[in-house]
Amino acid sequence: MPERIESVELRAALVRMRRTTGLAVVFGGLLHDGRRLRIQELSGALTPALRGLAISTGSGLGGKCVALSRPCAVVDYPSARHITHEYDGPVSAEGLRSVIAVPVVVRRKVRGVLYGALRDALPLGERVLDAAVSAARDVEQALAVRDELRERASGPGFGLGAGPGLGAGPGRGPDGVPSPSWEEVRQAHGELRELAPRIADPELRARLMAVCGRLETASAGPRRPADVSLTPREVDVLAAVATGATNAVAAERLGLRAETVKGYLRSAMRKLGAHTRLEAVVAARRAGLLP
């Protein structure tokens, strides 16, 4: 089963957070039932004590962070007075003392928590807080875009031109609504666009790009004629954004700098007359530039 895009974004954000702060351990997870958080990703851990740990709202530092929907921190976790201590065992097993927890909030709902920790009881300064909040914002952005795309994909005629007589293309039902398999096609398209520039053989690279072109025009039904011309790299960036990738994650996937990705995205949005990342993806699909 393909790895969930949310886990990929969470892991990438944690790695960036650890790299920019110098924290000994970073970890985090998403809420899957709206109330319980499960620790899914860790970087820098010396034991498996925290992996898979389920955190209830209001319990421990992370549970308090979820309940209050704001960052929370303690200088010395074992002796902290303003949190409950249900999870002292796993925390002590990993040797954590100074810990910060930052919520991932989308549409006013906490969707996850990012943690950072030291094995010494030292205050965590503003630089660490800012980096942790920035990492959480990256995950929030990815989840928000993913949510919007899912909602639009579940609406009638998404990605198709208006009017009667729209046929059902690959991965679509009789009413033209994309089925789950169509999203898999779009995911595969994005991965192929990421791989193509890395292939040294020009003939093989050309064949791969031809397959991408077939996927981009695979859906049946009339489309608005494309009145813009995007460069291959602009399409690469939009294909990554369409999966919910942040600029930083798209840069890692495509082997580019985050500022370069931002420049390609701005250019594509300008050409498509879009004001947001989501509008750019929708406009590109309607123009037949993305599947």
Provide the residue-wise pLDDT of the chain in tens; the chain has 291 residues: 334 567 777 888 899 899 999 999 999 999 876 678 999 999 999 999 999 999 999 999 999 999 999 999 999 999 999 999 999 999 999 999 999 999 999 888 999 999 999 999 999 999 999 999 989 988 887 787 777 766 666 655 444 333 333 333 444 444 444 444 566 666 677 677 777 777 777 777 777 777 777 666 655 344 444 567 889 899 999 988 887 788 888 888 888 888 899 999 999 999 888 888 878 888 888 888 887
The H or E element that residue 10 is part of is helix 5-21
Supply the pLDDT for residue 178.
Answer: 46
Supply the pLDDT for residue 10.
Answer: 87
Supply the pLDDT for residue 273.
Answer: 86
What backbone torsions phi and psi does residue 17 show, to the nearest 5 degrees? -65, -45
CB atoms within 10 A of CB 29: 26
CATH code of the domain made up of 5-149:
3.30.450.40
State how far the Cα of 62 lies from the Cα of 84, in Å rounded to an integer. 10
Supply the pLDDT for residue 165.
Answer: 33
Judged on CB neighbours under 10 Å (0-12, 13-18, 19+), 275 is exposed
Residue spans per domain, the chain: 5-149, 175-286
Supply the pLDDT for residue 283.
Answer: 84
The reply to whether 5-149 and 175-286 are identical in fold is no
Supply the pLDDT for residue 196.
Answer: 73
Supply the pLDDT for residue 275.
Answer: 82
Supply the pLDDT for residue 155.
Answer: 57
CB atoms within 10 A of CB 123: 9
Check: CB of residue 187 under 8 Å from CB of residue 214: no
State how far the Cα of 159 lies from the Cα of 243, in Å rounded to an integer. 15
In angstroms, the Cα distances linking 152 to 99, 144, 156 are: 39, 12, 8
Reduced to 3 states (helix: H, G, I; strand: E, B; else coil), residue 167 is: coil
CATH code of the domain made up of 175-286:
1.10.10.10
State how far the Cα of 92 lies from the Cα of 55, in Å rounded to an integer. 16
In angstroms, the Cα distances linking 227 to 210, 230, 289 are: 21, 10, 11
